[in-house]
Amino acid sequence: MTRTSSSTETPTPGVPPARGVPEATVARLPLYLRALTALVERGVATVSSEELATSAGVNSAKLRKDLSYLGSYGTRGVGYEVDFLRHQISREIGLTQDWAVVIVGIGNLGHALANYGGFASRGFRIAALVDADPKRTGEKVAGLEVRHTDELEQLINDLDIHIGVVATPARAAQPVCDRLVAAGVTSILNFAPAIVQVPEGVDLRKVDLSTELQILAYHEQRKNGAALALTAEQAAELAEAVNG
Amino acid sequence: MTRTSSSTETPTPGVPPARGVPEATVARLPLYLRALTALVERGVATVSSEELATSAGVNSAKLRKDLSYLGSYGTRGVGYEVDFLRHQISREIGLTQDWAVVIVGIGNLGHALANYGGFASRGFRIAALVDADPKRTGEKVAGLEVRHTDELEQLINDLDIHIGVVATPARAAQPVCDRLVAAGVTSILNFAPAIVQVPEGVDLRKVDLSTELQILAYHEQRKNGAALALTAEQAAELAEAVNG
DNA sequence: GCAACTTTGTGCACGCCTTCACAAGTGTCC
DNA sequence: GGACACTTGTGAAGGCGTGCACAAAGTTGC
Ligand SMILES: NC(=O)c1ccc[n+]([C@@H]2O[C@H](COP(=O)([O-])OP(=O)(O)OC[C@H]3O[C@@H](n4cnc5c(N)ncnc54)[C@H](O)[C@@H]3O)[C@@H](O)[C@H]2O)c1
Ligand SMILES: NC(=O)c1ccc[n+]([C@@H]2O[C@H](COP(=O)([O-])OP(=O)(O)OC[C@H]3O[C@@H](n4cnc5c(N)ncnc54)[C@H](O)[C@@H]3O)[C@@H](O)[C@H]2O)c1
């Protein structure tokens, strides 16, 4: 993915600093952006790494190191200018342009996503809604008409869509992703609980509800008296271990 | 209620192996579980680490090491017995019991979550739906009646709920989490784009849609000709860099 | 202009996670 | 019964991320 070192290619010009920002840092930039936006709304002009770190829920050293990958945007003895820093992070992430997004699968979740206001306010524009069910086509959702899957490639092309959101049943996820990629989409956010393969150069992220719940359950099981979680079989195993 | 060691220093009996499974491994167990379930449905009886790893989308050495934390459940020269391994992982995660879940905030997303069938099939039972809006109380969603926030504590107590899902607006997330925790919930899954603080001993995970999209946008910006993403300001900076 | 104070940016050490590579088992075939 | 083929389980190495601690750099007050 981070194949910036090609012999003939220039080292990614156009987006000035940007060289090799660690993935862990990239994942936190949206967090900082959100905290900064809240500060702007409260009318705060300057913020120290300590304050910003607290409101973003991270360690202040980590915050400073993260920001240092973008450049030296702070002033020693003072802190960071809120609005300026926000702009820099925004630019780094690529939120100065707006991204056209297609949502595939307009069921329960697809409806919620389409109606969600949090996209537009963050630089993402839902450009198309697509479903395979003819009964859904034509339906208006959040001011957009649901189109049939047959039109997927056409829409991606016409509307210059680079980002796809998949909210179909798990079974359909791989074929849908294949079509998205073939049509030119290079970033996919997948909500379906399926393992999807995509070619090199395509970014795939997944939001997996049941995985999250299962991780919680794992820890939960180890908290409030593990004895409560004893099944008959487990109790037998335990007894055997203790007696043997 | 911080660590598993309450008064007696017993090394957590009841859940046999379980000792210090790395967090990264825990996060992958649900993935393996899903792959195994798919194999069961296809009638496969035995699987090698190589095959299972491929279908789970991970490195086979990593898979074997992950499984080794649970115990030696494989047979050299053969592989893993699908159904047996699935049961072991299931038990490790704590899916042999079913967990009661409360969803707070029955708006767009809350409705989708409530109607989602993927909970029950994975050991989670939606036990209560709660909203602050009196207009929503009484409404039937997925066979459950939406209750008013006033009843939150009562419901958590009566239904022995340990897991809470927060789907309220960001502003309400912290107060709602505070109430959940005060009422005895020790695991929270938060969908609201807010930084929430919880006391030690409470697990908080977040699903953050806009963060995911922003991470995709970051990488997207660096792919297809960064030149396209040039703003006037950036072009000036670039020109300066090249000329100077 | 200087001293005291504040806060950034980063070198460094530590720990976790990933991956390779291989010895140690297990089943099969003759 | 023994050689062979296969697969697990794990030691060791390398890479990445985190957080401490501090020097460098800037501001304020006099
Ligand atoms: N509902 C939730 O809260 C929720 C939560 C987490 C994950 N998910 C996952 O998200 C996905 C969607 O969930 P849902 O509850 O909206 O399901 P749903 O059945 O309500 O909606 C699925 C939609 O996808 C459409 N579809 C099916 N095949 C398609 C194809 N090949 N191309 C285009 N559209 C197609 C269907 O017509 C339907 O409208 C599922 O994989 C589910 O597991 C849902
Ligand atoms: N809709 C989506 O697809 C989506 C996607 C990602 C994140 N989110 C986030 O999830 C949250 C919910 O989104 P939504 O689209 O469902 O919003 P929504 O406005 O449709 O629903 C919010 C619900 O929460 C209820 N509520 C408000 N305050 C409450 C309180 N103190 N206690 C209990 N209930 C309360 C409201 O009455 C309303 O029914 C938001 O924070 C949103 O940013 C939504």
Q: Kindly state whether residue B4 falls inside one of the protein's structural domains.
A: no
Domain that residue B134 falls in: 99-210
Out of A119-123, A183-187, B9-13, least confident range: B9-13
Residues B111 and B196 in one domain: yes
Q: Residue B11: pLDDT above 80?
A: no
pLDDT in tens, B107-162: 999 999 999 988 888 889 999 999 999 999 999 999 999 999 999 999 999 999 99
For chain B, what is the domain count? 2
pLDDT of residue B118: 87
A chain contacts of residue B118, beta-carbon cutoff 8 Å:
193, 209-210
pTM of the model: 0.89
Out of A205-209, A240-244, B195-199, least confident range: A240-244
pLDDT of residue A210: 93
Residues A75 and A161 in one domain: no
pLDDT mean over A124-134: 97
pLDDT of residue B119: 86
Residues B148 and B112 in one domain: yes
Q: Kindly state whether residue B176 falls inside one of the protein's structural domains.
A: yes
Amino acid A239 CA to nucleotide D5 C1' distance, rounded Å: 40
Structure tokens given for A213:
């719940």
pLDDT of residue B226: 52
Q: How far is residue A101's CA from residue A126's CA, in Å, rounded to a whole number?
A: 5
Average pLDDT of every residue of chain A? 87
Q: How far is residue A111's CA from residue A134's CA, in Å, rounded to a whole number?
A: 16
Q: Kindly state whether residue B228 falls inside one of the protein's structural domains.
A: no
Torsion angles phi and psi, residue B176, rounded to 5: -65, -45
CB B160 within 8 A of CB B185: no
- Which one of A210, A231, A238, A242 makes the best mutation probe of the B interface by having the most chain B beta carbons within 10 Å? A210
pLDDT of residue A202: 96
Residues B52 and B135 in one domain: no
In CATH, what number is assigned to the domain containing residue B86?
A: 1.10.10.10
pLDDT of residue A5: 32
SS (H, E, C) B27-94: HHHHHHHHHHHHHHHCCCCEECHHHHHHHHCCCHHHHHHHHHCCCCCEECCCEEEHHHHHHHHHHHHC
Q: Kindly state whether residue A87 falls inside one of the protein's structural domains.
A: yes
Q: Residue A229: pLDDT above 70?
A: no
Assign B224 a pLDDT band (cuts: 50, 70, 90). low
Residues A87 and A127 in one domain: no
Q: Residue B241: pLDDT above 80?
A: no
B chain contacts of residue A226, beta-carbon cutoff 8 Å:
4, 12-15
In CATH, what number is assigned to the domain containing residue B199?
A: 3.40.50.720
Residues A82 and A54 in one domain: yes
pLDDT in tens, A33-86: 999 999 999 999 999 999 999 999 999 999 999 999 999 999 999 999 999 999
Identify which of B118, B193, B234 has the shortest CB distance to residue A15. B234
- Bigger pLDDT: B224 vs A4: B224
DSSP label at A5?
-
Q: Kindly state whether residue B206 falls inside one of the protein's structural domains.
A: yes
Q: How far is residue B15's CA from residue A162's CA, in Å, rounded to a whole number?
A: 47
Residues B72 and B113 in one domain: no
Q: How far is residue B28's CA from residue B36's CA, in Å, rounded to a whole number?
A: 13
pLDDT in tens, B55-102: 999 999 999 999 999 999 999 999 999 999 999 999 999 999 999 999
First vs last Cα of chain A: how many Å apart? 53
Nearest CA in chain B to A185: B220
- Edge to edge, what strands does the sheet with A187-190 contain? A140-141, A144-148, A124-131, A99-104, A163-166, A187-190, A203-206
CB A104 within 8 A of CB A179: no
Structure tokens given for A16:
């000035």
Q: Residue A89: pLDDT above 70?
A: yes
Residues B103 and B198 in one domain: yes
Assign A225 a pLDDT band (cuts: 50, 70, 90). low
Residues B83 and B176 in one domain: no
Amino acid B116 CA to nucleotide D14 C1' distance, rounded Å: 43
Residues A168 and A136 in one domain: yes
